[in-house]
Structure 1
Amino acid sequence: MKSSYTYKKINNLEIKLDVHIPPSATAVNPAPVIVWYHGGGLLQGSCERYPNHFDVAVQERGFAFVSVDYRLAPQADFEEILSDVSDSVSYTIEELPGQTGHRIDVKRWFVSGSSAGGWLSLLVGLGVANPKHIPLACTAIYPITNTLAPFWNTLHEKAEWEDGPVAHETVKEHLNVDAPVVSSNPSNSTRSKMYAWMVQSASLNELLYGTKKDRAGNYAIINVLKEKKDATPPIYIIHGTVDTAVPFSQAVEVVDALKARNAEVQFDVAHDKDHLWDEYDKNERMDGLYAFIRRYL
């Protein structure tokens, strides 16, 4: 069963999260919680589109699944998006139990995310987004981790998964920073071409930070780890070796940095898998991810 809640309102924009609770959950036997952030480069996407294995997590594995919208760039900048992430965590932990008849157990909560959402997940897990609420464990699926890397700053003729270049005219209205702020878009919207256009134009940092591109390094996960003095929660990362949308190296550098500080990390290498494989393959169960978080229940 899915229910939608507005966790934040800015002007006339209601920012929502969707909650899926397993039928077996009761106030006496509440379900552990996975909070998930969608991908799309923080430029596009919706909490309503997620891989099938999260439905399996609810129906078969007994997890409650919270899928979160957040404001999209460039109409909102990265730090505004991060404030949405923080507020969504606070709402989930502090408000959602009462809203759901106490059928969710927020003492047993985990954070997850895919692609750019994996980046947000890591920032939650490492206490950057919301230091007050740290999950039992953090999982990141083919995450963006460092927007200073060459891939994001090199012009491409086109995104590899596109038949040809995305015309500026296609995404022009979505590039206007003064356009209305949105927190999701339909999959058939031209906004769904923003990520491909960003890759070919090497404009991610400009879209996320505007004139404050010097702040990009503050949120690179390897830099966050260098500054972090206290322990990290257990972290699980999975990434495909032939990912054309987020380089495999984005995961490798973070895993290496975590190992260097003797953090608890599991890195599952998905051989010959491209971006979004877990979404396109409806039979993908991501057993490794769920086995990892189950260790911390």
Structure 2
Amino acid sequence: MKQTVIYKTVDQCDIKGDFYPSDKKDAPVIIYIHGGGLIWGSREDMREEQINFFNSSGYHVFTIDYRLAPETKIDGIKEDVEDAINWLKTKGSETFQINVNKIVVMGSSAGGYLALLTGLMNHKPDAIVSLYGYGDITGSWYTRPSSFFLQKPNVPKQLAYQLVQPKPLSVGPIQRRYAIYLYCRQQGAWLDEATGMNPITQLDKIKTYCPYYQLDHTYPPTMLLHGNKDTDVPYEESVKMNEKLTEHQVIHDFITMDNADHVFDEHWDDPNVKQAFQRIIEFIDEHVQ
């Protein structure tokens, strides 16, 4: 049965997590981080089929919220993710009566980026799984107008900014937030809005939030999955991360989902998706169990 907790409160904003237990009490925990360009989404975005799959495979699942951009910048978002891991390590055993010595962090899209970012934290997870994520936020695909998103209805800056809230928020429905993301991608303004930093004069500081530039041989075992027809996050971003992990001799695996677009895992009935998730289980079984 799902159990909801508040793992952090900051600026009167409660940040929550949902815990889905496996029947196996001493099972490792998979922390799931949702996507949404850091701008929209919630802990409830993980598909029920995936939660059930991981539970039945012997893993607890802990899905988390985090404060959203642009109201909160990347430094605060990273802090929230790190605090979620620390909360689970310090409070998880007494709150859920589980063993929290083994933790996997998994995320999709921007959540995949945040999952990869945990490999740079003081308390690294035992393994990382990135679904169509990215390890570099300085690439031209994020800093220049996107030809794909320019094909969609134009979002004026005034409209986008009307949707930005005066206070931090940790849950943002796509219906109320997507226009902010669309504006950012159409204008090449995502990096500015998500980091609050100038991508030219503060590039070195921004790179400290890029696993691609910061990882070394101490990075956790990592699995990357990406569709080679992704229209949002370029497939090449996972190719780059795969090369960097190889360079530093980090244990890793890279699955290319042939002809698959963004959020390919929504197609749970696709045999290729189920096979990919079975490989995720095999990978984390080998490196975490």
Alignment pair present for 1:62 and 2:53: no
> 1:217: how far off?
1.6
> 1:255: how far off?
0.6
Partner of 2:162: 173
Which amino acid letter does the alignment assign opposite residue 166 of structure 1? V
Which amino acid letter does the alignment assign opposite residue 226 of structure 2? H
Which amino acid letter does the alignment assign opposite residue 43 of structure 1? I
> 1:196: how far off?
2.5
Partner of 1:182: 169
Q: Which residue of 95, 101, 125 maps to 1:107?
A: 101
Considering only aligned residues, what root-mean-square deviation do their CA atoms show, in Å? 1.9
Query: Following the alignment from structure 1 to structure 2, what is the Cα–Cα distance between the partners of residues 232 and 289?
Result: 18
User: Deviating runs (4+, > 6 A) in structure 1?
Assistant: none
> TM-score normalized by structure 1?
0.88
Query: Following the alignment from structure 2 to structure 1, what is the Cα–Cα distance between the partners of residues 244 and 178?
Result: 33
> 1:56: how far off?
2.8
Which amino acid letter does the alignment assign opposite residue 174 of structure 1? L
Residues 19-66 of structure 1: CA deviation (Å, up to 9, x unaligned): 1112x23xxx42221011111111111111113442233442121101
> 1:121: how far off?
0.8
Which amino acid letter does the alignment assign opposite residue 266 of structure 1? D
Structure 2 unmatched runs, 5+: none
Query: Following the alignment from structure 2 to structure 1, what is the Cα–Cα distance between the partners of residues 130 and 231?
Result: 17
Is the Cα–Cα contact under 8 Å of residues 121 and 139 in structure 1 kept in the other structure? yes
> 1:212: how far off?
4.8
Alignment pair present for 1:33 and 2:24: no
> 1:294: how far off?
1.0
Query: Following the alignment from structure 1 to structure 2, what is the Cα–Cα distance between the partners of residues 257 and 18?
Result: 33
Is the Cα–Cα contact under 8 Å of residues 32 and 106 in structure 1 kept in the other structure? yes
> 1:13: how far off?
0.8
Partner of 1:16: 16
SS in 1 for 2:44: coil
SS in 2 for 1:42: coil
What number of residue pairs does the alignment pair up?
A: 280
Is the Cα–Cα contact under 8 Å of residues 185 and 192 in structure 1 kept in the other structure? no
Partner of 1:138: 128
Partner of 2:256: 269
Residues 175-204 of structure 1: CA deviation (Å, up to 9, x unaligned): 46xx1110111243x213332222111111
Which amino acid letter does the alignment assign opposite residue 47 of structure 2? P
Superposition pairs for residues 1-297 of structure 1, below 5 Å? 1-22=1-22, 24-25=23-24, 29-100=25-96, 102=97, 104-124=98-118, 126=119, 128-129=120-121, 131=122, 133-156=123-146, 159=149, 163-175=152-164, 179-188=166-175, 190-213=176-199, 214=202, 215-225=205-215, 228=216, 230-282=217-269, 284-285=273-274, 286-296=277-287, 297=289
Which amino acid letter does the alignment assign opposite residue 197 of structure 1? Y
Query: Following the alignment from structure 2 to structure 1, what is the Cα–Cα distance between the partners of residues 226 and 197?
Result: 31
Query: Following the alignment from structure 2 to structure 1, what is the Cα–Cα distance between the partners of residues 46 and 190?
Result: 23
Q: Percent identity?
A: 26
